[in-house]
């Protein structure tokens, strides 16, 4: 696919960009450009453009505003020691984007076009990749239904877009252990639902639970399964791992989001000779294992936060704490090292942007 390229005539003032690069706050300041590609049932994908970032003009009847056909991805571009920029397993994001698209009755996009769109934006906005420790350029590819109609059926027009924002550490406390709230009132996903799709609607439905977590002085909410209210699923936007008797345990795929960080951690742990079990793990077991000391570590993971140790677990009627642990730290150091080009990338996970 050929991209037409138009540079902005009004780039952000250098002082504002420098401020954003030195004190990045993910999702607050955006780069100068964006990529858009249009899709129609008639013409498929067409009109690929790298262009100045600007608001969309949307008809009030645009399908996304009424029926929520919207999906997204989250990935990062990392500055490398030699000054180049690298992506981490971008073809996995492309694959997952298409899995989300299929689930939401939206068109899939060739994986090569998805990755090319990101590289095009990085070539244009390369000066926006921050260089400090723990920083990166967060990339947000997304797609939404633009067709103007009211009626329940898949739309026939969509816009694919990529925007970018300099990112620092995800949680206010930096690498400090986080506190999580186990919601026994709200659920995130049910069997046959959209739990495995990265769609905006999942997040909208989770906001009330996240607010409950904040009210209880926690950083994030932990969701339990919808059928029995018993099995741990994941956090609002992160997967979760437990170290029990030295085994790394994580909930099986199905109704959870198949995280690329999750998959990478499973791979790295196995290479270290750590036993990994993807299996149902209940909130009761979590509490019990923490009390008996069989549980030695727990952490949340995702692109935005990488790996965050869970230090405290609160729920209606109680709380317990979990010590910090060596496996969490070792896996974080190795994963971050690969992403930043300071640990050998033996699994070929990094993708140099040309």
Ligand X SMILES: *Cc1c(COP(=O)(O)O)cnc(C)c1O
Least Cβ distance, residue 352 to ligand X (angstroms): 20
Least Cβ distance, residue 261 to ligand X (angstroms): 3
Task: Give 31 or 261: the residue with its C-beta nearer to ligand X.
Answer: 261
Task: Give 157 or 183: the residue with its C-beta nearer to ligand X.
Answer: 183
Please name the residues in contact with 292: beta carbons below 8 A apart, sequence gap of 6 or more. Answer: none
Q: CA 229, 235, 236, 237: dihedral to nearest 10 degrees?
A: -150
Q: Three-class SS string for 142-200? A: EEEECCECCCCCCCCEEEEEEEEEEECCCCCCCCCCEEEEEECCCCCCCCCCCCCCCEH
Task: Give 36 or 303: the residue with its C-beta nearer to ligand X.
Answer: 303
Least Cβ distance, residue 140 to ligand X (angstroms): 11
Using the 8-state DSSP alphabet, how is residue 114 labeled? H
Task: Give 51 or 140: the residue with its C-beta nearer to ligand X.
Answer: 140
Distance CA 202, CA 200 (A): 5
- Contacts with ligand X by CB under 6 A lie at 74, 198, 234, 237-239, 257, 259-262, 302-303
Distance CA 224, CA 332 (A): 25
Least Cβ distance, residue 291 to ligand X (angstroms): 27
Q: Is 223 helix (H, G, I), strand (E, B) or coil?
A: strand
Least Cβ distance, residue 88 to ligand X (angstroms): 9
Distance CA 266, CA 276 (A): 7
Least Cβ distance, residue 206 to ligand X (angstroms): 8
Task: Give 50 or 308: the residue with its C-beta nearer to ligand X.
Answer: 308
Task: Give 259 or 341: the residue with its C-beta nearer to ligand X.
Answer: 259
């Amino acid at each position: 696919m050929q991209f037409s390229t138009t540079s902005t005539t009004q780039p952000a003032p250098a002082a504002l960009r420098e401020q954003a690069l030195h004190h990045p706050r993910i999702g607050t300041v955006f780069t100068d450009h964006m990529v858009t590609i249009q899709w129609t049932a008639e013409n498929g994908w067409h009109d690929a453009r790298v262009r100045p970032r600007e608001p969309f003009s949307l008809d009030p009847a645009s399908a996304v505003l009424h029926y929520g056909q919207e999906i997204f991805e989250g990935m990062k571009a990392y500055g490398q020691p030699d000054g180049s920029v690298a992506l981490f397993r971008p073809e996995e994001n492309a694959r997952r984007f298409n899995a989300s698209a299929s689930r939401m009755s939206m068109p899939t996009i060739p994986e090569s076009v998805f990755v090319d769109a990101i590289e095009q934006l990085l070539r244009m906005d390369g000066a926006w990749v921050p260089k400090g420790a723990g920083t990166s350029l967060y990339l947000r590819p997304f797609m939404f239904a633009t067709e103007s109609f009211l009626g329940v059926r898949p739309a026939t027009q969509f816009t694919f877009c990529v925007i970018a924002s300099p990112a620092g550490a995800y949680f206010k406390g930096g690498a400090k252990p986080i506190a999580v709230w186990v919601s026994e009132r709200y659920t995130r996903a049910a069997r046959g639902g959209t739990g495995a799709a990265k769609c905006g609607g999942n997040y909208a439905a989770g906001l009330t639970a996240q607010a409950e977590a904040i009210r209880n002085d926690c950083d994030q909410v932990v969701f339990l399964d919808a059928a029995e209210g018993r099995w741990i699923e994941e956090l609002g936007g992160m997967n979760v791992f437990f170290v029990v008797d030295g085994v790394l345990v994580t909930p099986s795929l199905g109704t959870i989001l198949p995280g690329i960080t999750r998959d990478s951690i499973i791979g790295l742990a196995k290479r270290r000779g750590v036993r990994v079990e993807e299996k149902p793990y209940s909130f009761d077991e979590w509490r019990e294992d923490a009390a008996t000391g069989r549980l030695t570590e727990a952490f949340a993971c995702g692109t935005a936060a990488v790996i965050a140790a869970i230090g405290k677990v609160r729920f209606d009627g109680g709380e317990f704490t979990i010590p910090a642990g060596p496996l969490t730290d070792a896996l974080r150091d190795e994963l971050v090292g690969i992403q930043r080009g300071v640990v050998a990338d033996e699994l070929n996970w990094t993708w140099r942007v040309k």
